[in-house]
Structure 1
Amino acid sequence: MNLIKDDYIVDIIVPVYNAYEDLIECINSINIAKTNFNYRIIIINDNSTDNRIENFLQNLKINNYIILNNEVNLGFVKSVNKGMKYSSNDVILLNSDTIVTDYWIDKLVEKGYSNPYIATVTPYTNNGTICSIPKFLNDNNIPDGYTANEYANLIERISIRKFIEIPTAVGFCMFIKREVLEKVGYFNEDDFGKGYGEENEFCMRAKYKGYIHTICDYCFIQHKGSMSFKEDKLKYIKKNLNKLNELYPEYDLTIKEFIENTDLKNIAEYISFHSDLKVNKKYNILYLIHNDVYDDIKHPIGGTEYHVKDIIENSDKTKYNFFILFAEKNIIYLRIINDKINKIFKFFISEQLKINTFYNFEFFDILKNIITHFDINLLHIQHLRDLPITTISSIKGFFKYLPIIVTVHDYFPIDPTVNLLDIKNEFCNAKIDKKKCSKCLEQRLGLRFEILDSWRNTFKSELSLANLIITPSYSAKNYLINILGIPDENIVVIEHGINLNSDLILERNSINLIKNKLNIAFIGGLAPYKGSGIVFQILDYFKNNNNIQFYVFGNLGDKKLEYFNSKNLYKFGRYKREEIIRLLKNFNIDLVIIPSICPETYSYTLSEAWAAKIPTICFNIGATGERAKCNKIGWVIDRPFNSNSIINIIESVIENKEILDEEKIKFNRCSFVKDVKVMVKEYDELYMNYINDSYTPNEKIDVIVQSNKYFYDKFFANIYLNNTDSNLIDIYKKEIDLMKNTFGWKLLEYIRKRHPRLGGFLKNMIKIYIKHS
């Protein structure tokens, strides 16, 4: 750019033959396009038969317009040459069926002078053979939802600024240096007079003079011309191509090899993905979480994942792009979702992320690039398990004004074991007892007691940097205030919602119902911390009672329950979340027991029972007890939390079913459950409040280009990873993991570590066996 003088002028050469409407659009786009350069527009009217052309050109009384009229029709090549010979400056040849965009001149000139050997520069377009996007070599429309300028902004924003040499410029728009015209000459009028192939022949001549041709991968202009031609024109094109190959026998092979090997194919695919993503036209929300919300990648999907999925699925995906980031060992996953895309990417780091990882440079480098590349407008942390604990402070260090919201779904910021239960599954209420805490941390997570103070202090410090903290219940909020000392005003309570679709709630299938019995259900996964021991005692106590039928909906995480059977027990097993309300109705459930002995921060099972208008029994602990007491629904049991209290309630209901009827009547007053659409509206208003407040995505070109290059490389690495071979790798990995859990493998590992020589001997024996088997 230092070669460009202050008095630099570039001439835009526009040959015109009829096509009045196209010309109007083209000239208007030139007039309104922003630029920092001085330019002239030289229009050559090639004896157009449409009188409107002449009238229009006569009315162009702007100083930088020069109108040249041909007395007879000279054809495209002679008209272009006439304009280039009139000029003494660098030129941009421009078809009259194009629409230019902001700073298009600046970008072409800048690219042209980035290398002294560059002869021509061609921008990207929707219809320009090797310069076509979003589909390479195709006649494309500009993707839906974009104007030409908006699409050009996107192309510039995601450009990797890669220098790509092309074998020839494309004639719809090409920048040519004046020095090249002086050394190489003008277009070949004798062999290509009527047009087509003239720019290719010119570029081959320039190449023989030691020049090169390139594409400006951050410039886009629209080209309305079609790559489909009538039969007579196809014959003419074929003739010119034959002539081109006579002059330059290597031309066809050069083009063929370029198309087969060029990076432009990959870049076009990269652009196509971003065209659907529309990062410059949507709000971009990044969620950090401990697991995927669509697939059981790490473990079965739970309440936190369902909550995030509810927001995504019920939000306006034409307004938002959602990015979900989570980690498993040394793999960082990024799922991207909008109305057209649901795609997952993998990023690999050298060090495995663990529950007690406080900082990881590689992770933050990935996160920083994601935030920059995708113009993330808001970061919403849903869970930090298996992610660095210092995420908030680290991100604030890079992006000071990026809004960060944290939702606390469990007690992870207070207790790494999450549920505030000691090793005996007794409620500890977050009190620190060195003996109990040491045993609990060591046996459950392999952590030392000393981590607890730094854990809580770090989370207190991190949460203080968040713009807002959300809890789904007041009981969860109070724990953050009382244990971590988070100010009350920094925390808001937003209850979770569920799908209250009437079809799900009211539909009944014809099934074999057991009549004249009290139908009692346990719903959700049952594990020790969820009260599986209490469930076992209840089932065992009533196993011979013919007045009760028990149903268990959900997974069993307790061997005692798994092996327990009785005539009045039906184990439904795992269910789809969207069908549980209907199932409760179909099985005529009268009462739902929620036996959780740890303080829930919410309780989806409570909401689902209430949505089905079924009374509940629960303990007065956490959000479950808080919500039941507040709404005065069902039975809330104070300490001690054991099976006896629940058994007494069940027996009283058997004796007097009117008690149950009284509880059911309460649902006629109100649903007591928030609809997911109401919740999503609350989040939409919240997000817009913070997004529109102060944050502007990074606008430093060098930082943006670096992040673009980073994701471009990962984009194609992930295309490879997502093919069949990748699936086979996952299968083999799972098979190896299963093998490592066998007794034989563990025995060999023990011998290898304790008795290396014997281990070596066994290793050689195995090799001999495999060789001869």
Structure 2
Amino acid sequence: MSRHSSTPPQESLSESAKNEVRLDALAREVEDLKRELGIRDDILQQVADHATTVVKSRRLRIGNAIGDLLYRLRRRRSSHVAVHLNRTLEQIRKLQRSPTGRRSHASTRPWQGIGLANNPIQQQRSVTVVIPVYNAHDDVRACLESVVRHHERGSRILLIDDGSTDTNIWPLLHQYDDDHSFITAVQNPANMGYTRTINRGIGMTQNDVILLNSDTKVTRGWVSKLQQSAYSRDDAGTVTPLSNAAGAFSIPQQNVNNPIPLDLSVEEMGELLAFVSERQLTVTPTGNGFCLYIRRDLFDEIGVFDEEHFPQGHGEENDFSMRAAAAGRVNLIDDGCFVYHKRSASFGEGKGKALEVGKKTLETLHPSYKPQIQEWLQNDPLAELRAFLKTLPQHRQTKGGRPTLLYILHDGRGGTRLTSFDLARAAEADFHVLLLTTGRRTWTLNEVVNGDIKPLEERELETEWYIHQPLAHDRARFLVEILTKHSVGLVHARHFLGNAPEILHLCSVLDVPTVVSFHDFYSVCPNTQLIDDRGRYCGGDCNDGPRGCSVNRGWILEIPPLKNAWVHVWRRRVESALRRASAYVTTSQHTRDTIAKHFAFAHDREFSVIEHGRDLGHLPDVARPPVPNEPLRAIVLGALNFPKGTGLLQSILERDGEHRLELHVLGVWPSGFEDSAGNAVLHGRYSQSDLADKVRKIGPALTIVPSICPETFCHALTESWAMGLPVLGADFGAVRDRITKYGGGWLLDPYSPELWLEKLHAIAEDPDDYDARRREALAAAQPTVAEMYTAYLRIYQRAAETSSATTVS
């Protein structure tokens, strides 16, 4: 299933080297700047601010940030900015030296892994959402429904009726006040105007404030996202989300009322944006009052909104933002938060005139406002995100002919890859089949054409894959591109290595049904084989020992403390994703029971057991019965490591002082195994085409499957039975399930090497029992690939019925 190297992939080393080169180039640029003349002060400040942002943001894309800073420096030289850059250069170096995917050493929560907070929120701060209301009953109701649906603990809602002429407004607000303890509704004695109304609301609380228009619809997690962004840096003052219609904060196009793409609901658009956004929290000259998070300490510093100059709104938030900037605070965009805006349904008549008056007033009070806005628009920091969203069609595309089926699996070796490719080839009869293989730094989209696996596109990703990080934005974008461009109607997630459980969320957002396979226990614990610190099968239940559990360092280079700790975070994350899937499949009853033990809801879902099908052809019967007074000849097949039984084999060989066992290993083994393998014969790798020939030349009597963790299927057992070889295996997992069902072998406690050696001696001395097991092995049912696919096709058809966008014939 996975690689076994303990050395980080080469791409990790090369990326680190690239960043060092970038940093050295940056240092040279600073030295050059010392010798050159200055230019406009506002340009210098922008460059300096950008350098500060690189340091404070703790973005994961450190190399890209440094590269962007270099680009700005080369275009806009100044000795004035050199002093600032000298101070920040060493900070950038410290940031670069922090492990990829982790926060800098300054973080108090280093495993959060989202690359956002400079000063993470130590405890949730209280926030009051102030919603001024003036008429527009239906819009207000829709807004309140969304606010209640996405209410978060620690937040309160303050509704202020600013003298609405619609007599249905106050009863509506009053009803929400009665129904929800976190909502308070008040009335102005008369129409006070927008700015006085929001200032009244701000004065009624000592909390942070979110100003929210009554013609909006919020999305899941909106308060916590904005709050987290507001405290991502010490000098943050305001935060504005993105929207379909909020001027420069509109996506994908600025200053228009954008339709939501792909026929998505507002909720789904919020989820999609959360996946595909880089969450870079860009500084902007101004916030937008349609939805504006404001820290309480900013009110304490600069006061509230200017009622005198902007009594009806239309410029009050811009003036407030400019005053915040003048006080050394910054206005941020949360590009991962989406709030729908119907646009100005609550301002009544006379909007056009009020806008013009507000604009002139703003430019008079802040002459630099317009140039700053023009500069920001010209260097649009959201350009990359906008460009991606523009590629998405407004309506979901349907495709004639065969529906498209996408398999997702890691790019490692082993049984998962072998069986997935077999299944994909078989599915070509009914589907247009794509395979997405996911690696640590590269994802590759393949297509099945007449049984051949042909690459369509290889995507080099911006960051290394780390298990503790959520699905990165560039990976999410690539998956969205695949799903939409190829009109994918069904996804079969074969493994989460190299990707993330959140791929199921993303598919669900786009109304693409998913089937999930369990080839091992990675979903239960990243340890994968459920081997504890004592080297024993734990079943996913952590012991109280002081030592931690191991993980596959070929994939998992970094992980938070796992045992009795982060494993529970992982399971919650997996469970949240699995609930989005239509069906689950695994390959043995034991595996199904173990998965369902930790994800109890799976008992109530379609959860099938389908054995792997193999087209092994007519393999010859190569077994040679034991010969009296000669060593018992046995083989071991596949990739050996500690969970796969190297320790058990070594213990057996150490106890075989009389050399009554002749052991042959076909496959791969860990470094150092040769030195402790005694008189075992190590043959190396084999292929399906030459397996029978190699085994025939050895002439074994049986196969040993020495795994000390439960196998979820065991291809070695399938291959052995096909060649007439009975199997001695561990008494749990799929090996137990299959030998109990079909015979064809013997079962033993995997932690008692003495019993294994005794049993091997007994097999050599009991020809009748051996012959019976050999006949059972030859007679054992071996499903073909076609039979396996037929079982999967029934699941695919039922899963497709859950989506109106897909029809599987």
What TM-score do you get using the length of structure 2 for normalisation?
0.46
More helix by share: 1
- Structure with bigger gyration radius: 1
